């Protein structure tokens, strides 16, 4: 099966590499020519546009930042839709508004193509390892046709329902991750202010009910002051904005999401937008006049 891959950023590049390692024929495109050339040296074929990639592919995968980027890549000039042939499957692995997923899917179906929205969770480390959690929405039979491809990139691949269900599930994931990071930040700062070392608190509670994958991934980063991006603050702001918009449209109350969004907006204004979302701890450190670095 010929695969096209559009979007080769922090997440897309290692995902594309895993497809190459699995032996798939891969044609890639992104606006950064040097990134395309890097993947070409590893065995990929170069694409010149979304339309060019689609014309040579049975499946086209997108991994882009947000809804406008996906709409432009698919529906814009020389986009995927222009080059798509009947029977092609578009798999959008970006995290976008589920309403936009449904809109793009309708346009693809007009041309005789199918679409899945299949966002991921796990950040750069799991993208590199091929152990992402993938949540997909779309026709079940289409999902089954590309399951093997998705399983190259993820260790957990779940069909969530009709088109848009994947992104709705991802929004739920992002709410839980954001709230978890905020809670870890709040707890470690409490401990530091009360005279208990954050490292001791982390080691004492990580094996109990409060322990989580998020805590194990982010607490060490907070204590080491290592905020190199696995998932950037500005991207989490995008996801929470999509969650709030979706919540408003369906009448779901999201008070915790709204509160954490304001914290992240403060970080954005303070110049931390490109840092890892574990830098949410800096909001608490600013308010408390302390930090949670290892001693």
Give the per-residue pLDDT at 123: 86
Delimit the CATH 3.40.50.720 region(s) of the chain. 2-162
Read off the pLDDT band of 135 (50, 70, 90). very high
- Residue 45 · residue 20 · CB < 8 Å: no
- Please write the tens of the pLDDT for every residue from 161-170: 999 999 999 9
Read off the pLDDT band of 174 (50, 70, 90). very high
Examine the residue annotation and report whether 86 is marked as an active-site residue of this protein: no
Bigger pLDDT: 230 vs 146: 146
Architecture of domain 2-162: 3-Layer(aba) Sandwich (3.40)
- Please write the tens of the pLDDT for every residue from 17-75: 999 999 999 999 999 999 999 999 999 999 999 999 999 999 999 999 999 999 999 99
Give the per-residue pLDDT at 186: 98
User: Cα Rg for the chain, rounded, in angstroms?
Assistant: 20
Delimit the CATH 1.10.1040.10 region(s) of the chain. 168-288
Read off the pLDDT band of 245 (50, 70, 90). very high
Mean pLDDT confidence for 89-99 = 96
- Topology at the third CATH level for domain 168-288: 1.10.1040
Q: What is the average pLDDT value for the chain, to the nearest integer?
A: 96
Read off the pLDDT band of 230 (50, 70, 90). confident
Q: Which of 27, 126, 170, 238 is catalytic?
A: 170
């Amino acid at each position: 099966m010929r695969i096209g891959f559009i979007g080769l950023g922090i997440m897309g590049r290692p995902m594309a590499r895993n497809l190459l390692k699995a032996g798939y024929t891969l044609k890639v495109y992104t606006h950064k020519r040097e990134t395309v050339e890097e993947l070409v040296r590893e065995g990929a074929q170069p694409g010149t546009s979304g339309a060019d990639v689609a014309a040579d592919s049975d499946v086209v995968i997108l991994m882009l930042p947000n809804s406008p980027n996906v709409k432009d890549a698919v529906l814009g000039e020389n986009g995927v839709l222009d080059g798509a042939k009947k029977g092609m499957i578009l798999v959008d692995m970006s995290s976008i508004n589920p309403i936009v997923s449904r809109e793009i899917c309708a346009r693809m179906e007009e041309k005789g193509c199918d679409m899945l929205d299949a966002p991921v969770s796990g950040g750069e480390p799991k993208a590199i390892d091929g152990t992402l959690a993938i949540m997909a929405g779309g026709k079940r039979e289409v999902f089954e046709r590309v399951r093997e491809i998705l399983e190259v990139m993820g260790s957990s691949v779940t069909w969530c329902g009709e088109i848009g269900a994947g992104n709705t599930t991802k929004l739920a994931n992002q709410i839980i991750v954001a709230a978890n990071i905020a809670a870890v930040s709040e707890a470690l700062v409490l401990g530091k202010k009360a005279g208990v070392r954050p490292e001791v608190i982390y080691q004492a509670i990580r094996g109990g009910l409060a322990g989580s994958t998020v805590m194990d991934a982010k607490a060490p980063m907070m204590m080491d002051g290592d905020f190199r991006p696995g998932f950037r603050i500005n991207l989490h702001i995008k996801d929470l904005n999509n969650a709030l918009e979706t919540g408003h449209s369906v009448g779901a109350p999201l008070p915790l999401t709204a509160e954490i969004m304001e914290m992240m907006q403060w970080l954005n204004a303070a110049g931390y937008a490109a840092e890892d979302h574990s830098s949410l701890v800096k909001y608490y450190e600013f308010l408390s006049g302390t930090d949670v670095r290892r001693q």
